[in-house]
Amino acid sequence: MTQFGSGVTVPVTADDSGRSWGFTASAFCSVALDPPLVLVCPARSAESYNAFVNSRRFAIHILGSDQSDVAMRFAEKRTDKFEEGRWRQAADGLPALDGALARVSCVTHAVHDGGDHAILIGRVVHAEVDEAAGAPLLYFRRRFLDPVAS
C-alpha cells in the first residue's frame, strides 16, 4: 500500500457534548455520484473513532501542498489539535480549515465493518472549493510530497 500515492485529508466531526474531533486520513475516496457519496475509514484504535461512527454529520478537508504541518498535527494523539491553524466554524456547525483545497460537508449515510477500521460513508450535502489554493498534498512511500516542488 505504500506504493499507492494518495491525497491527504482531515475529516472532522463533533460529539454530543460539542467537542471537535479530527484525524489525518488517506483512506478517502469518492463512492457515487447519485446520490453523491464519499467514504473515509477511521481506525478502531483512533481516539476519534467513536465520535465519527456515532456522528450524524462530518466534514472532510482535502489538504493543499503547504499543509503538511496540519497533516502531521492531526496524525498525532493530542487534545489540542484545533488550537493552532486557520480554523473557524462552518455553517454545518463543524470546524472548517481555511486554505484547504476543498471541504466536503456530509451527513452520515452508512457505517460498515472494515475490520480494524470502519467504512464511514457520507452523503455530500455541501462542498466548497478554494480555486485560489494550489497543488494537493500527496502521500507516497510514507512521505509527504509537494507535487510542485518535487
Ligand X SMILES: Cc1cc2nc3c(=O)[nH]c(=O)nc-3n(C[C@H](O)[C@H](O)[C@H](O)COP(=O)(O)O)c2cc1C
From 29-37, 44-52, 91-99, 102-110, span contacting ligand X (CB under 6 A): 44-52
Closest CB to ligand X among 48 and 67?
A: 48
DSSP assignments along 76-144, one per residue: S--S-GGGSSSEEE-TTSSEEETT-SEEEEEEEEEEEEETTEEEEEEEEEEEEE-TT--PBPEEETTEE
Among residues 13, 24, 65, 105, the one that binds ligand X under rule CB under 6 A: 24
Q: Should residue 143 be labelled a site residue for ligand X when binding is judged by CB under 6 A? A: no
Instruction: Considering only residues 78 through 97, tell me which ones interact with ligand X, judged by CB under 6 A.
Output: none
Q: Which residue has the cell 478502531?
A: 44
Distance, CA of 35 to CA of 144 (rounded, Å): 32
Among residues 8, 60, 138, 145, the one that binds ligand X under rule CB under 6 A: 8
Distance in Å, CB of 20 to ligand X, minimum: 11
Q: Should residue 75 be labelled a site residue for ligand X when binding is judged by CB under 6 A? A: yes
DSSP assignments along 30-73, one per residue: EEETTTTEEEE--BTTSTTHHHHHT-SEEEEEEPBTT-HHHHHH
Distance in Å, CB of 34 to ligand X, minimum: 25
Q: Should residue 139 be labelled a site residue for ligand X when binding is judged by CB under 6 A? A: yes
CA 147 to each of CA 27, 87, 99, 136: distance values in angstroms, whole numbers, following the listed order: 19, 25, 17, 7
| Binding mask of the shown chain, residues 48 to 67, with x at each position contacting ligand X by CB under 6 A | x-------------------
Q: Should residue 42 be labelled a site residue for ligand X when binding is judged by CB under 6 A? A: yes
Torsion of CA 91, 80, 53, 115, to 10 degrees: 140
Distance in Å, CB of 92 to ligand X, minimum: 20
Residues that bind ligand X (CB under 6 A): 8, 23-27, 41-43, 46-48, 71, 75-77, 117, 139
